[in-house]
A and B are shown apart, each in its own frame.
Chain A
């Protein structure tokens, strides 16, 4: 009981020191910026705050790292120097390229373009991990990133309802189903690390390169009739109206398809179990 309470007290002390360090860092920066605190005083306060943060982080994250007062001060100085360099780099070297005089974000890529590239990288990297991973579990987790990246691309394309449907159905439904199927089946070779190797990885990579090249050439060279100002309006209400007017018949057919798939999946997956239960009953 006593050990428990002292553990709790140490935990709270670490949390308090960490929070105080972070708060002091922000407070010193704000005072320097708006209240005209002197530079030396600010740097001293920031250094002490970094010391507090390093001590708190060490107590939380690297529990087994022995940290004497001397090494704490030395390590904090190193962290402080690193932070100072990063801040100087961002403020003095990167910022003039990224922010123009009106405070807008410019430069090599604009912010929306940057978001697109991050999402596209996430999507393609996830798909590549799914295609080339040696382990089927890693393939499934890569598929998660591919699905989430595609949902982000939908948002960039002004399709909010398909983005939500993507997250709910693919990530919440299909991926969980795939993980269940992986766990319920014994994989080739006994462990869940099977792959490939029918055509082999080089032929697969050559196939991927050829397909990407052909489709990319077509996408870039074809004269698409692009509209001048694409809209970013919310689409959920209009989609619902479209489903109940222009696309009513396909909508109803889709519901029948889903019902048939539900019943069919249960029948197909439970057939063998039913026979075994019958044999059990006969005995």
Chain B
């Protein structure tokens, strides 16, 4: 019987990352795409903290510091991204990313 180790957490992170990527790729709703980005950032955070716990060793906190920075950037990204979504909605009256093709020839 093996106990819970590093690969278990890495597998959870991999599942979170791939589901987030699927969300980003398949959603047509801009808010849904932002949700997928949050999932991907959470997957990165799980990996950071798991490596910090199991590989970096006791007394070292580099992975946790990085995870805090990732959380900060994710909050900023969510605020900016949702502001952009609201701006797109005010311009196009929709947030379907297939419809907002002003830059496409």
**A interface vs B, CB < 8 Å?**
108, 110, 112-113, 116, 120, 123-124, 127-128, 130-132, 136, 139-140, 143, 146-147, 150, 153-154, 156-159, 161-162, 165-166, 169-170, 173-174, 177-178, 180-182, 184-188, 194-201, 203-205, 207-212, 215-216, 219-220, 224-227, 229-231, 233, 235, 238-239, 242-243, 246-247, 250, 254, 257-258, 260-262, 264-266, 268-269, 271-273
Main secondary structure of the interface of A (DSSP, over half): helix
Name the distance in Å between B31's Cβ and chain A's nearest Cβ.
Answer: 5
The 3 A-B pairs at the shortest CB distance, nearest first, are namely A215-B14, A211-B18, A219-B10
A143 vs B18: C-alpha distance when bound (angstroms): 15
Q: Which chain B residues border A158 with CB–CB below 8 Å?
A: 53
Taking a contact as CB atoms under 8 Å apart, the answer to whether B55 and A227 are in contact is: yes
A150 vs B69: C-alpha distance when bound (angstroms): 16
A209 vs B18: C-alpha distance when bound (angstroms): 8
Taking a contact as CB atoms under 8 Å apart, the answer to whether A268 and B87 are in contact is: yes
Taking a contact as CB atoms under 8 Å apart, the answer to whether B54 and A188 are in contact is: no
Q: Which chain A residues border B54 with CB–CB below 8 Å?
A: 224, 226-227, 230
Complex: chain B residue closest to A185, CB-CB:
B89
Taking a contact as CB atoms under 8 Å apart, the answer to whether B84 and A243 are in contact is: no
Cross-interface CB contact of B65 among A157, A186, A242, cutoff 8 Å:
A242
Taking a contact as CB atoms under 8 Å apart, the answer to whether A261 and B80 are in contact is: yes
Taking a contact as CB atoms under 8 Å apart, the answer to whether A154 and B49 are in contact is: yes
Given A239-B68, A272-B91, does the pair A157, B38 have CB atoms closer than 8 Å?
Answer: no
Taking a contact as CB atoms under 8 Å apart, the answer to whether A198 and B27 are in contact is: yes
30 inter-chain pairs at a CB distance below 8 angstroms, sorted by A residue, are A124-B12, A131-B36, A131-B39, A139-B23, A146-B39, A154-B49, A162-B45, A165-B68, A170-B38, A173-B75, A178-B78, A184-B86, A185-B85, A195-B26, A198-B27, A208-B19, A209-B18, A212-B18, A219-B7, A224-B7, A226-B6, A227-B58, A235-B61, A238-B61, A243-B65, A257-B73, A260-B76, A261-B79, A268-B84, A273-B90
Given A136-B29, A262-B79, does the pair A225, B55 have CB atoms closer than 8 Å?
Answer: yes
Interface string of B48-68 (1 = CB under 8 A from A): 011011111111010011011
State how many residues of chain B have any CB contact under 8 Å with chain A. Answer: 77
Taking a contact as CB atoms under 8 Å apart, the answer to whether A216 and B64 are in contact is: no
Taking a contact as CB atoms under 8 Å apart, the answer to whether B29 and A187 are in contact is: yes
Taking a contact as CB atoms under 8 Å apart, the answer to whether A197 and B4 are in contact is: no
Given A204-B26, A257-B72, A258-B72, does the pair A112, B4 have CB atoms closer than 8 Å?
Answer: yes
Taking a contact as CB atoms under 8 Å apart, the answer to whether B31 and A178 are in contact is: yes
Interface residues in B1-52 by Cβ distance below 8 A to A read: 1, 3-23, 25-29, 31-32, 34-36, 38-39, 42, 45-46, 49-50, 52
Taking a contact as CB atoms under 8 Å apart, the answer to whether A196 and B27 are in contact is: yes
Complex: chain B residue closest to A203, CB-CB:
B26
Q: Which chain B residues border A224 with CB–CB below 8 Å?
A: 6-7, 54-55
Taking a contact as CB atoms under 8 Å apart, the answer to whether A215 and B58 are in contact is: no
A266 vs B31: C-alpha distance when bound (angstroms): 18
Q: Which chain B residues border A271 with CB–CB below 8 Å?
A: 87
Taking a contact as CB atoms under 8 Å apart, the answer to whether B36 and A226 are in contact is: no
Taking a contact as CB atoms under 8 Å apart, the answer to whether A159 and B49 are in contact is: yes
Cross-interface CB contact of B76 among A146, A186, A261, cutoff 8 Å:
A261
Taking a contact as CB atoms under 8 Å apart, the answer to whether A272 and B90 are in contact is: yes
Name the distance in Å between B78's Cβ and chain A's nearest Cβ.
Answer: 5
Name the distance in Å between B46's Cβ and chain A's nearest Cβ.
Answer: 6
Taking a contact as CB atoms under 8 Å apart, the answer to whether A182 and B31 are in contact is: yes
Complex: chain B residue closest to A268, CB-CB:
B83
Given A136-B32, A264-B80, does the pair A215, B22 have CB atoms closer than 8 Å?
Answer: no
Taking a contact as CB atoms under 8 Å apart, the answer to whether B96 and A188 are in contact is: yes
